[in-house]
Amino acid sequence: MRALVTSTFFSLVLCAGLAAQWSTDAATSLSIGDGTSDQTQPKVVAEPAGGVWVSWFDGIANGFDVRVQRLDDQGNEALAHNGVLVADRGFSSTQDYGLATSSNGDALLVYRDDGGTGTQISAACIAPDGTEIWGTGGVQLTNTGSFVAAPKIASDGAGGAIVAWTQDSTVRVQRITAAGTTAWANDVVFTPTTGTYSVADLIESTSLGVSGAVISIVHQTGSFGSPRQLRTQRITSAGGLAWGPSLLPVFTTGSLQFGNFPSLAPAPDGGAVFAWYDAGSSQLQCYVQHVDGGGVPNFPTNGVAVSTNTNQVRVSPKASFGPLGVIVAWREQSSNQALSGVFAQRFGASGTRLWGDDGQSVKSLTSDTTTDVQITTSGYQSIVSWKRESGFNQAVIEGYELDDQGPVGLPLDIATTVSGKSRLASARTTLGNGVLVWTDTLVDSGDIFGRSVQCNGVVGPPLSAWTDLGAGLAGVAGVPTLVGTGTICPDTEASLAVSSAAPNANAILVLGTGTLLAPFKGGVLVPTPTLLVPLPTDASGAAGLAFTWPGTTFTIYWQVWIPDTVGPSNFAATNALSSTSP
């Protein structure tokens, strides 16, 4: 068992959960957007309270509008069904757009906008109650006749956003303050010496206490058939370039697939993890690179191949970063691409392949089509998910749990109702569960559905952490009560709160791996405590403690002992709690 990590701040507020909307039935997914027109291209990001923001395009009949909805940790809709209309647009086709969460918990969106003159780039900020903080229509960032496309957005760490978009052959970046004004007098502009630049992805980054964003850019080095390379830079909240005066090369030896814009995964050091596949070589191959917060590539130049198996090919990788390091999952295929499955690889700090030269087989190759591979990581556990399609509009969503050794247990049934499914997207919440969203033809030609997957791979809302064993022992203020809150997924925060204790007492939190029935200290006693934590109470007899769950399976028993002149042997005790990690 890894040592429990405790923090120094107190948590005294307890909240009751709402009725669950995330189903525990893999055949029943949550309908998020089901208007009379088509809905497509969903995105999902976590918000601080344990829920998610979900956005999508709505309404092919009158143009693809932008909508957003907030779901709480149980899957309840915080806004009216079908969400808030962010932008009423007239586009009859779609391009990529951006969704992020601000440091305040607001939704940040950026998109192409044709509500004024020509096609421009606009951004919006939506409060948790649906208020349009930057006003109706948001903030227009461009006023140009140039070609603009595929914008991305990230939090600036101060309630505002950093936005990037493609404009003709350049990439431009601007910051928007929390008040909805542009922060920099001029855009940051990246201009290639040859060919064109296009935004691939943008994520929030804090390095050495300085907020900013990491951007990845696809460089088409010449005309249409020329190699497509991958470059990066970290932009500070002041508009500076943190990683040198020019873009940092990530991948320069082959070529990305035309139309492929690899996503980024945040690294805890303020850097990012890049995962891509090379379509310019004789064998389709996936690679990964970790660039740290100082702009130093930690893996070899041009990345590390996820597998050395030359009898198969691989595409469409997705990466995550956790306490176990970098984990990448991808679509594995036979050499003729007739069979497909899912593989995964784990990397050490310098890029060493830790799961063998071939990686781990998560789903074996079959004639069914396997696409849309996703990965969410909670501490020492990851959930890999994918869409499996046996025929046209005959798709289900499956998954597998991974630990430090690879796949654990049995395959996961995530969404078993057979229908047309596309554009699978995922996010890990602050409570450790993964949320998946996708476009589904179950009812009509396209609705937005979602699913919550617990960190142990079970579908449903976040795991409840606590079992009350009872048997408290009264003191001067009555029987003190111990209540635990928070889910039990590794690397997530939980808290304990004590009430009705003797005021201003130097209480002791007792933890152990077993219990003993005993009249002393409340009837349920931890016989050999493994950790004693001083827990001073305030004048009202309340106390609290917040901590982070460790990453292995274990059961812990909790109780608080309180010096009290009324209790036997001058002690009172709370009820006992038990908690078991997945």
Q: Read off the pLDDT band of 514 (50, 70, 90).
A: low
Q: Which tokens hold the place of 140?
A: 């227009």
For the chain, give the longest Cα–Cα distance: 85
pLDDT of residue 222: 93
Query: Lowest-pLDDT range, 42-51, 244-253, 260-269, 500-509?
Result: 500-509
Q: Kind and range of the H or E element at 568?
A: none
Q: Which tokens hold the place of 372?
A: 């849309």
Q: Which tokens hold the place of 199?
A: 């935004």
pLDDT at 176 over 50: yes
pLDDT at 64 over 80: yes
Looking at 3.90.25, 1.25.40, 2.60.40, 3.30.450, the CATH number of the domain 467-580 comes to: 2.60.40
Q: State how far Cα 547 lies from the chain centre.
A: 21
Ordered by start, the domain boundaries in the chain are: 97-239+248-257, 261-364, 467-580
DSSP-derived 3-state class of residue 201: strand
Q: Which CATH architecture has domain 97-239+248-257?
A: 6 Propeller (2.120)
pLDDT at 341 over 70: yes
d(CA 219, CA 232) in angstroms, rounded, equals 10
Q: What 8-state DSSP symbol labels residue 351?
A: S
pLDDT of residue 11: 28
DSSP-derived 3-state class of residue 521: helix
Please give the full DSSP string across 51-69, using - where no structure is assigned: -EEEEEEE-TTS--EEEEE
Report the DSSP beta bridge partners of residue 426: 436
Report the DSSP beta bridge partners of residue 71: 52, 77
- Nearest residue to 113 via CA among 53, 163, 54: 163
Helix H segments across 259-323? none
How many Cα atoms within 13 Å fall on the side-chain side of residue 387? 23
pLDDT of residue 156: 95
Cα angle 289-292-298, degrees, rounded to a multiple of 5: 50
Cα angle 152-154-157, degrees, rounded to a multiple of 5: 165
Q: Read off the pLDDT band of 551 (50, 70, 90).
A: low
pLDDT of residue 8: 28
Q: Which conformational region is residue 448 in: left (phi greater than 0), alpha (psi within -120 to 50 degrees), or beta?
A: beta
- C-alpha R_g of the chain: 25
Query: Lowest-pLDDT range, 159-168, 212-221, 402-411, 484-493?
Result: 484-493
Report the DSSP beta bridge partners of residue 390: none
- As to burial, measured by CB atoms within 10 angstroms (0-12 exposed, 13-18 middle, 19+ buried), residue 146 is middle
d(CA 441, CA 446) in angstroms, rounded, equals 5
d(CA 33, CA 29) in angstroms, rounded, equals 12
Report the DSSP beta bridge partners of residue 315: 331
pLDDT of residue 291: 97
DSSP-derived 3-state class of residue 433: coil
For range 428-438, the mean pLDDT: 92
pLDDT at 3 over 60: no
- As to burial, measured by CB atoms within 10 angstroms (0-12 exposed, 13-18 middle, 19+ buried), residue 82 is buried
pLDDT at 311 over 90: yes
pLDDT digits over 313-324, tens only?
Answer: 999 999 999 888
DSSP-derived 3-state class of residue 530: coil
Q: Read off the pLDDT band of 520 (50, 70, 90).
A: very low
- Nearest residue to 388 via CA among 421, 411, 355: 421
pLDDT of residue 409: 87
Considering only residues 208 and 327, tell me which one the structure prediction assigns the higher pLDDT. 327
Report the DSSP beta bridge partners of residue 523: 518
Q: Kind and range of the H or E element at 320?
A: strand 312-322
In which residue are the tokens 């060493």 written? 352
Quote the pTM value.
Answer: 0.86
pLDDT of residue 524: 55
For range 19-25, the mean pLDDT: 77
pLDDT digits over 363-419, tens only?
Answer: 999 999 999 999 998 878 899 999 999 999 999 999 999 988 999 888 999 999 999
